[in-house]
Amino acid sequence: MNKSYHGLIQFSTFEERFEYLKLNGAVAAITFGYDRYLNQMLYQSREWKRLRHDVIFRDEGCDLGIPDREIHSQILIHHITPITLESIEYGDDCVFDMENLITTTKATHNAIHYGDSSLLVRLPEKRRQHDTCLWHR
């Protein structure tokens, strides 16, 4: 099943979007180690930096594009369909396709790759009337 940004935004909640994206595996080791220089070349390129800006703008700086999940720390851009060294070397369209990109935090990015929802940052529960009053529970 090919996943995409337009497929992702059909889900309205953060949890649903996480479930859609999670990979249930380890971060692709093939893109790290001695070949990491290719990743660094990609992420330092003018084309990537311009595209990264466009993705953040589209997603309004929010984790998985969810409006109440503004990112106030380092922003990562996640490839919805993971890229490989070959994708980078051969300039595959999926590397620079906005349909394959979404704004995330580091915690969300790791949770997606490892398929581990315990890594996600949870929002505080909504306050309710009398929630701090012991005799009104």
| Residues 112, 71 contacting (CB under 8 angstroms) | no
Question: Residue 20's closest CA among 36, 34, 9, 32?
Answer: 9
Burial 100-130 (b: 16+ CB within 10 A, else e): bbbbbbeebbebbbbeeeeebeeeeeeeeee
- Which pTM does this prediction carry? 0.83
The whole-number pLDDT of residue 126 equals 74
Neighbour count for residue 51 (Cβ, 10 Å): 17
Q: Minimal CA–CA distance to 63: which of 53, 52, 73?
A: 73
Give residue for tokens 């505080």.
Answer: 124
pLDDT, one tens digit per residue, over 80-118 is 998 888 888 888 999 999 999 999 999 999 999 998 999
Q: What is the pLDDT of residues 2-14, one digit of tens each?
A: 899 999 999 999 9
